[in-house]
Structure 1
Amino acid sequence: MADDQYLQSLSPEERIRVQMRREIIDDLDEEFELSLEEEAAGGALDEEERAFRRTYFRELVRLQGELVRLQDWVKASGHRLVVLFEGRDAAGKGGAIKRIAQRLNPRICRVAALPAPNDRERTQWYFQRYIAHLPAAGEIVLFDRSWYNRAGVERVMGFCTDQQYEEFFRSVPEFERMLVRSGIQVVKYWFSITDDEQEARFRARIEDPLKQWKLSPMDLESRRRWEHYTRAKEVMLERSSIPEAPWWVVQGVDKKRARLNCISHLLSQVPYEDVQHPEIVLPERVHHPDYERQPTPENMIVPEIY
């Protein structure tokens, strides 16, 4: 109530400025909350870490502003962009995707995270279920894991035959060249972490009840097969990096630096430009003398506990 009284004491122009500032701060708090969640288990930060944290927030907001400019250009130009995110479990793919999409219009930029194929999909052409998620003109699609499941988890866990595995590597370069020829830009990222870092992140997830859902039996088994995944990754990067769609490796041990580096690099891959927008003028609200707002029934109001 005191806050309402304070706002009412301001002039209309001052009130709008205060409310705008609060809205901006609320947006920034969203990232702050995510950061606190990640650092809660790590103890107090030293001075160097605190200094970089300030840099991280400043640069993240700046880069997200550039992503909005990129989004505007994609929509205006009809560009089609696909970004693949691959890496070991707990490598930081999801955190990077979250920060890229955080300020963007979900109607323009969407995330595709496909579950394991069902019985029908297993009988289709391997790439078929991914095609439905490719972008139309003016769209960006971020694949949280992609058709490279066959080169990674399916190979390591024995979910595909040697023949299917070899056929994948015969097909995937031409499949991606076909996408590029059709006008779809394909950018591929592999998030790289160390053996020790993955173990630390897995142990943190085991201890954190808010993150235990991220650990599946498959994730735990992947930990045991670390060396198998390493070999599968090396083969994948060697056999499927092509000039039209090369692989890019993100050093992911430091999550914050990995996000900034990935976003900065992604921006450098797209030839976006400023898009001129007509000036936005907020129309005056129409007031009708006979309008009277009806009170909301008390039994419909959410209790104000906070």
Structure 2
Amino acid sequence: MPRLPHKDEEAAVPASDIVLVAFDGVEPIDVAGPASVFSKAESMRPGSYRLHIASPTGHAVLTNAGLSLAGTCSLQQLPATLDTVIVAGGEEAGVRAAIFEHGMAAWLAGVAPHTRRITSVCTGAFVLAAAGLLDGRQATTHWRVCDLLQSMRPQVSVQHERIYVHDGPVWTSAGVTTGIELALALVEDDLGHEVSMEIARTLALPMLRGAEQPQLSQTLQVQATASHRLRELVAWIATHLQDDLSVEALAQRVQMSPRHFARAFAAETGCTPARFVEQQRVAAAEQLLRQTQWTQERIASRSGFGSVDALQRAFVRRHRRTPQAYRDGGA
């Protein structure tokens, strides 16, 4: 008599085949970042994913950093049915060769109708565009080449100020490290928020930005023009939002008089200390509004606002709407 399947076996779902497509000249982080996310997801939920690193030829890939990616398979060796294809980005010459010499765009157009998700990291979006997969859709790519993608493919609505864009079965992300955030969003889509957040903590991400966040963080832009002493202070502020961040307290931390500190901060960063602190607190509250169901009281406390009223006033100044309206309608 044949053995009846165990209840757990009946509920088992075949692992999803995730393909990361690389090519000579690829940015290594575009491959390693998402690969790390999916491998950790598989460790947490065994049987969820099978990860493949593929290249047009199946040979070792030389990255733009001089590192070699060995053990890749060719596009033709991949399983017939794929769940998710992620096209990495890289230097312009490598992307062009992948499209025009190795037929990656043609291959992608062929597998897309039978693949649940087609995605890209950074300039990998140009491969999707060449395959016609972005026409009539919103998409993004590295901030340096957003205008180029728009001019080359007017049929695409290029979003300059987005970490990643999800439009139907197509997901695109901005530059380099945003591929990690894209991969975390894909894992959250599959396995839930808790798994995604645990991976983010394991990777020691300082924060998990939402899709609507700008590609260049305000903290990084402020640090670009600040002296070493103020650069360190700016980084400290972002992780101590519940502390006393008054001008007096910040000035004491960098051993400056409040007046001199306020003038130096504004001169070096183009922003007053109070305004920068409020922007950082609002950004933290935005994250919590998107990713939790916490009350506004708890969010106000965690993001450093003294009260819900202070949180609401800051949101109206920045977004011209209340925190609840932001949560209901998205960014």
Same fold by TM-score, threshold 0.5 exceeded? Answer: no
- Normalised TM-score (structure 1): 0.30
- Normalised TM-score (structure 2): 0.28
Rg comparison, structure with higher value: 1
